[in-house]
Structure 1
Amino acid sequence: MTYALRSLNPLDLPQVLTLNNEAVPAVYALNADLLATLVATATHSVVVTTVEDVHTVAGFVIGFAPSAEYASESYRWFEARSSDFLYVDRIVVAPNARSQGLGELLYASVFQAAREAHATEVVCEVNTFPPNPQLLAFHSRLGFTTVGEQTNTGDTGAAALLTALVS
């Protein structure tokens, strides 16, 4: 199967919301309004589809540059330490499309966007409570290293804060 990337558009939002909420607890749950706000304020929002069916979303990524109107604790942690990054807020691949290189394809779009913005690093968080060793290993293969850890407000979870240099 051949896959293609394109900008996330408003018609994709219902599918993206479903994929996002099926991926909990790897990502935090969203409602339709919050998702629409995230996409509207994001620096980078891309979906992956098959070339045969460009309307069915197989995965997506949403990211933010510094100074975005975004209240995520992890995003604010990175923003307090750097002004030269692209923050990956969430990246999700449909269960039936996993292990086909789509995560790498979506991250390639993030690194390209970071290069175009002259950012020096791509940053993200990976939930560690509940544990997610597969996702940590995936990020390690892409060159990410842990630069911090964070317990979320209300002790509802914990995350490793990761960074990878843009080459």
Structure 2
Amino acid sequence: MLSLRPLTAVDIPRIVELNDAAHPAVPITSEREMADLLELAGFTFAAVAGDDLQGFLIGMTPGSTYSSENYRFFDGRGVDYLYIDRIVIDPTVRGAGIGRTLYTAVFELAREQGRTEVDCEVNIEPPNPESLAFHARMGFERVGEQETKGGSVEVALLAAPVRD
């Protein structure tokens, strides 16, 4: 049975393993960089079955010192939001609904906090059509595009309203 809990420092090796296996959809990240990201995170979720961490989500709240170009885009829009920085699912369990479960938790958190939308980005280049399709099914719409990482990556900037 799948359950959700916050990520902890003990999870970092497994998070990095899953993260780096998902490249280029997410950037390669060292354990130190991942620890720093968790320190900045406004919220996190680990999707676990027994002792197996099968997926994770890291998010930010408004006003963070997080320097991501994508986060900065959303933080500058003047909307009360939660930002999903990273979601990764173990490839052996993709399609089992873990992504939807993690996103549902974010929308529930956003409702509890009185936020108006949930924001994220998905790579256009290198392409990630499966993720774009997933986000469309979850109600996300494109609010912009931008090049990041010195022009090596282009992303679709996506937002979805928080509904009652």
TM-score (norm 1): 0.95
2:112 matches 1:116: yes
Q: Which amino acid aligns with 2:128?
A: N
* Structure 1, unaligned runs of 5 or more: none
Q: CA deviation at 1:153?
A: 4.0
For 1:12-31, list aligned pairs within 5 A. Answer: 12-31=11-30
Q: Hey, what's the Cα distance between the residues in 2 that align with 1:158 and 1:99?
A: 25
* Structure 2, unaligned runs of 5 or more: none
2:91 matches 1:95: yes
Q: CA deviation at 1:82?
A: 2.2
Q: Which runs of 4+ in 1 moved over 3 A?
A: none
Residue aligning to 2:41: 42
The superposition leaves residues 131-161 of structure 1 with CA deviations (integer Å, 9 ceiling, x where unpaired) of: 1111100000000000000011421110000
CA contact (8 A) 2:79 2:116 kept: no
Q: Hey, what's the Cα distance between the residues in 2 that align with 1:83 and 1:149?
A: 17
SS at match of 1:143: coil
2:136 matches 1:140: yes
CA contact (8 A) 1:44 1:113 kept: no
Residues paired across the two proteins, number: 163
Identity of aligned residues (%): 44
SS at match of 1:109: helix
- Aligned CA RMSD, in angstroms, stands at 0.9
Q: CA deviation at 1:83?
A: 4.1
Partner residue of 2:127 out of 112, 128, 131: 131
Q: Hey, what's the Cα distance between the residues in 2 that align with 1:72 and 1:154?
A: 12
